[in-house]
Chains A and B, each alone.
Chain A
Amino acid sequence: MSDSNIIPKWLSVGLIPLMNLFLAFCVSGLFILFIGENPFRAISVMIKGAFYYPGAIGYTLYYTTNFIFTGLAVALAFHARLFNIGGEGQAYVGGLGVGLVCLVFDQHVVGFLVTILAILGSVIFGAIWGIIPGYLQAKRGSHIVITTIMFNFIAAALMVYLLVNVIIEPGQMSPETRDFASGVGLVQIHILAKYLGLDIAMSPLNLSFIVALTVSVGFWFLVWRTKFGYEARSLGHSETAAIYAGIKVSSTIIIVMAISGGLAGLVAINELLGVHNKLLLGFTAGYGFTGIAVALMGRNHPFGIFLASLLFGALYQGGTELDFEFSSITREMVLLIQGLIILFSGALAYMLNPLVERAYLKYYGNYSSA
């Protein structure tokens, strides 16, 4: 990713992403027009659906939580120039960690403790799913993109096997575990608010959101304030310089992938401990993949990732509303809009740069041979 040297930062990280977004919405509007609906009405439904209706914000932030975790996971790896496509699988296996901890301990240990252990479980299991490709990259030279993609498939197959044959609730048809004991889990915000005497609409938003924000701050600290972050970034920018500086390349790769996997694994606490209260098939629902777009859009910075996550959270939630409101706008149409946003802010992120550069130079470009 090469940021322009010519234009100031407020343009390159402020205005240009907004312009990309605007373009994506324009093109989406054309498609909506094409199927005979009013794009302005659609967008107003989307915005209302994401922020205005009772509980809408809660839903939006609940999705946001997932994207923060997976976005950070991709971003961390990217700082060490590792393209971790395996967030999906790492989140999934993180869920196995949560599930196993809860199923083993929830009958014997107090709920609060089980929840803490389950959070650790999600991190550790996710980390393991990151470490293996990391190890293969560091020691065996297997390309991390290939291995992480394959590990998504392995994770999916493994979970189907386990949920269908091993940890399924006996006597049940759907591939899910039994419910975790009451007392286990992360409390939802609207319930918490009720204790505090506030009345807010019901939504799946839970304490995981706070965890996500805390982790974001920790991420910033790790990457820009610790020796380890320094070493990882050195490695990411220049492996030769890292070797020159005496940085151990392979162990840095493995640790980065461990933390990255752990971050992705945290999706499981939002989904399983915060909402479903059991382990079930396919709970990751593509959050891991969307995390790539989130990290790309958020320029691998936790604040950017928060904003990008919020955007995608709003799209998910607003998109559902769109689906409800218009008979002609289907789930696929919402996916199309999301795809366009990923296309414009991810793949075409630098498309507008030359244009803006030229315009900038035209207005501020009184440069002689200084």
Chain B
Amino acid sequence: MKNIENKEGSETIESLPSSTKLAIELKNITKRFGHVVANSDVNLKVSTGTIHGIVGENGAGKSTLMNILFGLYKPDSGMIFLNGQAVDVNSPEKSIALGIGMVHQHFMLVPTFTVLENAMLGNEGSMFLQSGEEFALDRLRGLSENYGLDVDFEAIISETPVGMQQRVEILKALNRGAKILILDEPTGVLTPQETIGLFDILRSLREQGVTIVLITHKLKEIMSITDTVSVMRGGKVVANFSTEKTSPEELAENMVGRKVLLSIKKPTLKVGNPVLEVKNVSHESKDGVNVLKDISFDLRQGEILGIAGVAGNGQSELLDILSGIETLQRGQITVNDKTILPYQDWNSKKAREFGVAHVPEDRHKRGLVLPFYNYENSILGYHRNEEYSSGFLMDKRKIFNFVDDLVENFDVRPRSSSISSSKLSGGNQQKLVLAREIESNPKILLVGQPTRGVDIGAIERIYEDLMKLKSKGTAILLVSVELDEIMSLSDRIIVMNQGSIVGETNSSDATELDLGKMMSGLEKV
């Protein structure tokens, strides 16, 4: 593995026109958590009225840096300059007063409040709510028209789409007088169309002099919207670029520290017989919402079927039912010629017996018992198997033999059986879960968000493993909110919106735009 020398950051920054004023300048910021150095001697310059991207893998220190700028963390050393003046940002209140607004990855909205009430929160404008609301509404209407932030002020937040919630967050920040806007992974929950809409808004904000810092791991977005970009790795800024002078390949290389292959070789393989048939499955959640409506599809040997859709449109529930976590309420499922009917005895244990393995969407909540050691986690769900136990006892020797091979073969780092899984990086945790499920030799593999919060190096490896499994004839059902992933891995794609299947296409015919339309429910195919 070839390490790329840290590029001298100053080089590219010096090349910026000297007349531009700097909105943000961070000098030698260092932040430690215990003996973990989250930010080490970070320098960052962002010119006024530009969009600056920060890319980096998980744990590279992007969020820490932004939290320092927003006053949530206090740096151990270093200085912050805003518009050329040294400032001491010791709390979010202070940072808001200094004109910084932050839109977090997980929105900070009160779900039962209206859009107006949320947007004016923190800047109510008057002691009495009535006059405050009128005052705020005026100003917010102005902001909303000015920047194309289209919202319905009367609507209750929990009933509005995520795209609008995000616009409310931006409005809220502007309403408090933000001149610098930090957006943390803003597109994770958006459809491609909503993303385009967001970018239009960001451009119009830029035109009016707002400085924007965009944190993302999607290189495509960096390329399309930013003016300048910084790459972080291992707590340091390792490179600065002017966006038009760089390429996604170069950014990825800097993020990982070595060359990465972002393309996937898909094995050409004739698909076999259906091994999973889902017929008319409907499901009602505990709150009485119809989360799945009449879902039917089948999945064949050696096939990867991708399920595209914005998060929260029934994909998770579908996975839960197929993997036996949830009870089947209506419809029927046939797994390897065995039919499961509603309210029949169907659980995760049985699913595994039928040859269904499951890489869950949330590895922290489901896939792993975090405090457990690797050797304990690598048999989770399979701990009853003869291979790892004798009678009611667990056979530690057999488990260790198995796990030592597992971490070796699937490149789980560090290669240790007796380290707590909570100490692994996201990518390695995911590799461990995937390894466990693949090693059970499944007929069907259900995969949810295989690369969420996973670094590029590990993504490469995970894709490789999935392809290997496919060529062995395993049928794979892939649920992901990353369209690129769905399009490049799947043979066939179905799109879900509000609990229904709204479209199906071969991946070779699919375009991002078509899928995006289906995802937003605009178009039925």
Cβ-defined contact, B35 with A367, below 8 A: yes
**B349 contacts chain A at the CB level, 8 A cutoff:** yes
User: Are A241 and B392 interface neighbours, CB within 8 A?
Assistant: no
- Cβ of A331 within 8 Å of any chain B Cβ, yes or no, is no
Of B235, B347, B380, the residue contacting A369 (CB under 8 A) is B235
- Is B365 part of the binding interface, using a Cβ–Cβ cutoff of 8 Å? yes
Once A244-B325, A246-B381, A368-B37 are accepted as A-B contacts, the answer to whether A234 and B372 lie under 8 Å apart by CB is yes
B289 at the interface (CB under 8 A from A): no
Q: Which residues of A contact B350 (CB under 8 A)?
A: 246
Q: Of B32, B325, B394, which one neighbours A243 at CB under 8 angstroms? A: B325
Given contacts A5-B34, A238-B369, A245-B381, contact A230 B394 (CB under 8 A): yes
CB neighbors of A among B360-401 (8 A):
360, 362, 365-372, 376, 380-381, 383-384, 389, 392-394, 396
- Shortest CB-to-CB span from B115 to chain A, Å, is 32
Per the bound structure, the CA–CA distance linking A365 and B34 in Å amounts to 9
Is the pair B40, A241 in contact by a Cβ cutoff of 8 Å?
no
| A240, B34: Cβ atoms closer than 8 Å | no
Bound together, the chains give a CA A361 to CA B367 distance in angstroms of 33
Chain B: which residue is nearest A235 at the CB level? Answer: B369
Is B358 positioned at the interface, with any CB of A under 8 Å from its CB? yes
Distance of A244 Cα from B349 Cα, bound (Å)? 9
Contact A227 B348, CB 8 Å, known A238-B365, A241-B366, A368-B37:
no
B186 at interface, CB cutoff 8 A: no
Contact of A246 among B348, B370, B392 (CB under 8 A): B348
Give the distance to chain A from B407, nearest Cβ to Cβ, in Å. 19
Chain B, residue nearest A367 (CB): B35
- Asked whether B461 is an interface residue with its Cβ less than 8 Å from the other chain, the reply is no
For the complex, is B172 an interface residue (Cβ under 8 Å from A)? no
Chain A 214-258 residues near chain B, CB threshold 8 A:
225-228, 230-231, 233-234, 237-238, 240-246
Chain B residues whose C-beta falls within 8 Å of the C-beta of A244 in the assembled complex: 323, 325, 348, 358, 360, 366-367, 380-381
| A interface, over-half SS | helix
- What CA separation (Å) do A58 and B235 show in the bound complex? 59
State whether A240 touches B365 (Cβ < 8 A). Answer: yes
Contact A230–B383 (Cβ < 8 Å): yes
The reply to whether A231 and B34 form a contact with Cβ atoms under 8 Å apart is: no
Residue B236 interfacial (CB < 8 Å): yes
Q: A240-B365, A243-B325, A361-B34 are in contact. Are A226 and B381 (CB under 8 A)?
A: no
Q: Are B235 and A226 in contact, with the CB atoms below 8 A? A: no
Is B384's CB under 8 angstroms from A227's CB? yes
The contact size tier of chain A is 20 to 34
Residues of B within 8 A of A357 (CB): 34
Question: Is there contact, CB below 8 Å, between B367 and A241?
Answer: yes
Number of chain B interface residues as a range:
35 or more
Q: Does chain B have a CB within 8 A of A335?
A: no
Indicate if B427 sits at the interface (CB-CB under 8 A).
no
Question: Contact mask B345-360 → A, CB, 8 Å, 1/0?
Answer: 0011111100000101
Q: Chain B 87-105, CB within 8 Å of chain A: the 1/0 string?
A: 0000000000000000000
Is B365 a contact partner of A241 (Cβ separation < 8 A)?
A: yes
Q: Which residues of A contact B393 (CB under 8 A)?
A: 225-227
Contact present for A243 and B369 (CB under 8 Å): no
Which among B360, B384, B389 has the highest number of chain A CB atoms within 10 Å?
B384
State whether the Cβ of A6 lies closer than 8 Å to any Cβ in chain B: yes
In the complex, A245 Cα to B368 Cα: how many Å?
A: 9
Give bound CA distance, A11 to B310, whole Å: 48
Does chain A have a CB within 8 A of B423? yes
Whether B37 contacts A369 by the Cβ 8 Å rule is yes
15 A-B pairs, CB-CB below 8 angstroms?
A5-B423, A225-B394, A225-B396, A226-B394, A238-B369, A241-B369, A244-B366, A245-B348, A245-B383, A246-B324, A246-B347, A246-B350, A367-B32, A368-B37, A368-B40
Show the binding face of B for A, using Cβ within 8 Å: 32, 34-35, 37, 40, 234-236, 323-325, 347-352, 358, 360, 362, 365-372, 376, 380-381, 383-384, 389, 392-394, 396, 423
Known: A238-B369, A370-B37. 15 other contacts (CB 8 A): A5-B34, A6-B35, A226-B393, A227-B383, A231-B383, A240-B366, A241-B369, A244-B380, A245-B381, A246-B324, A246-B352, A246-B381, A367-B35, A369-B234, A369-B236
8 A-B pairs closest in CB distance = A246-B349, A246-B348, A245-B381, A367-B35, A244-B366, A369-B40, A369-B37, A6-B34
